[in-house]
């Protein structure tokens, strides 16, 4: 589905045009065309492939759905595949955006994406002095907007992790805590898999040998790369925290089990002692001491009760009961 198709000249918007008129504006001095599609059909992508001369392998990546995020160079064209995060209802949702860039065109294709990214076009049009860089600046603006979408998601997960760390020491729901920890770990890994490959991809766009299409815009891609590295650092730190929290939670479970075992052992010792007495006095030998003494039975009960009380007080004092 077509979102918009706009022609720009010297960094300024000229007009919205239908797809059929794209070829008339290509290869004109200072011109480039920006086409945005959402959930494009195969027919639409094939039409764009023919219109802009897109590489077959790059187009196949869009057809094949979820791919590993990357930035690739095809002859005079650049192709970037990024995953777009959204966070609501406690769940991380991942969409995709494919960006094709040539000397005089930009084609962005969003698939299963909940983020509109309409603000990127508005931002670019407010900065005609930067839009003069041409189509490659649009690639930067889109990439920068997508990467910036990760920050609120990472912050939300970090807040969730902090709340869980606090709750771990104030409730006894160890199993539930463990499930929540692994749920956060899964979400962090989803974000990490979406970001980590981009570090290498955008590293190709500044410093050293860069594609000719990038030109003087390489410093902008360095900024995107810095944001990616910062996010990866945050995610790595969260993974370490989660691993530590899991170990702490396991330790709390072990401690709880130890407390239960101590209580069972203490009560077992009390019962065993009384059982020993009753076992001995219950043998009923003919010449057993105090067997026919009228105070023998009360005395036996008193001794057993006294020993039980002594053991109870001792275990209570030591914290076993």
Q: Where are the beta strands (DSSP E) in the chain?
A: 2-9, 12-16, 31-38, 70-74, 77-88, 91-102, 105-111
Q: Which residues contact 296 (CB under 8 A, 6 or more apart)?
A: 290
pLDDT at 300: 74
Q: Are 270 and 312 in contact (CB under 8 A)?
A: yes
pTM assigned to the model: 0.78
Tell me which residue of 144, 145, 134 sits closest to 8, measured CA to CA.
Answer: 134
2-252 and 254-318: identical CATH topology: no
DSSP string, 280-311: HHTS--TT-TTSS-TTHHHHHHHHHHHHHHHH
- Phi, psi dihedrals of residue 33, rounded to the nearest 5°: -110, 135
Per-residue pLDDT of the chain (321 residues; tens, 9 = 90+): 778 888 888 888 888 888 888 888 888 888 889 898 888 888 888 888 888 888 888 888 887 766 789 988 887 889 999 999 988 888 899 989 999 998 888 999 988 887 777 788 888 888 888 888 888 899 999 999 999 999 999 999 999 888 888 887 776 677 788 888 899 999 999 999 999 999 888 888 887 777 878 877 888 889 999 999 999 999 999 999 888 888 887 777 776 766 677 777 777 877 887 777 777 666 665 656 666 666 666 777 787 788 788 777 877 777 777
pLDDT at 280: 67
CA atoms within 13 A on the CB side of 162: 7
pLDDT at 5: 87
What ranges do the domains of the chain cover?
A: 2-252, 254-318
d(CA 273, CA 314) in angstroms, rounded, equals 14
Task: For residue 74, count CB atoms less than 10 angstroms from its CB and return exposed for 0-12, middle for 13-18, buried for 19 or more.
Answer: middle
Residue reference for tokens 């969003």: 110
d(CA 195, CA 229) in angstroms, rounded, equals 9
pLDDT at 288: 64
Which pair of structure tokens corresponds to residue 192? 């990490």
* CATH architecture observed for domain 254-318: Up-down Bundle (1.20)
Task: Return the H-helix or E-strand segment holding 150.
Answer: helix 150-168
pLDDT at 80: 92
d(CA 221, CA 99) in angstroms, rounded, equals 15
Tell me which fold the domain 2-252 belongs to: Beta Polymerase; domain 2 (3.30.460)
- H helix runs in 215-283, sequence order: 218-281
């Amino acid at each position: 589905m077509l979102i918009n198709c706009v022609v720009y000249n010297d960094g300024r918007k000229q007009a919205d045009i239908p797809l059929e008129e794209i070829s008339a504006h290509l290869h004109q001095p200072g011109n480039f065309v920006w086409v945005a599609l959402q959930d494009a059909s195969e027919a639409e992508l094939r039409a764009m492939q023919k219109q802009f001369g897109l590489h077959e392998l790059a187009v196949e990546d869009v057809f094949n759905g979820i791919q590993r995020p990357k930035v690739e160079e095809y002859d005079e064209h650049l192709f970037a595949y990024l995953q777009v995060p959204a966070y609501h209802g406690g769940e991380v949702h991942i969409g995709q955006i494919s960006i094709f860039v040539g000397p005089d065109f930009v084609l962005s294709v969003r698939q299963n994406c909940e983020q509109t990214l309409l603000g990127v076009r508005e931002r670019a049009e407010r900065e005609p002095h930067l839009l003069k860089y041409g189509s490659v600046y649009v690639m930067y603006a889109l990439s920068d907007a997508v990467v910036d979408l990760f920050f609120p998601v990472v912050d939300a997960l970090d807040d969730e992790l902090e709340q869980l760390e606090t709750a771990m020491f104030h409730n006894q729901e160890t199993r539930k805590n463990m499930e929540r920890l692994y749920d956060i770990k899964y979400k962090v890994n989803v974000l990490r898999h979406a970001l980590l490959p981009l570090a290498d991809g955008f590293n190709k766009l500044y410093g050293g040998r860069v594609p000719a299409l990038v030109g003087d815009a390489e410093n902008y891609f360095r900024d995107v790369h810095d944001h990616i590295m910062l996010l990866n650092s945050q995610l790595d730190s969260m993974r370490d925290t989660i691993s530590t929290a899991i170990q702490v939670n396991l330790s709390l479970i072990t401690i709880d089990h130890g407390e239960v075992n101590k209580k069972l052992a203490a009560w077992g010792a009390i019962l065993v002692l009384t059982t020993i007495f009753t076992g001995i006095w219950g043998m009923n030998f003919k010449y057993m001491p105090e067997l026919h003494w009228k105070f023998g039975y009360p005395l036996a009960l008193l001794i057993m009760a006294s020993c039980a009380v002594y053991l109870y007080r001792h275990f209570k004092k030591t914290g076993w009961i």
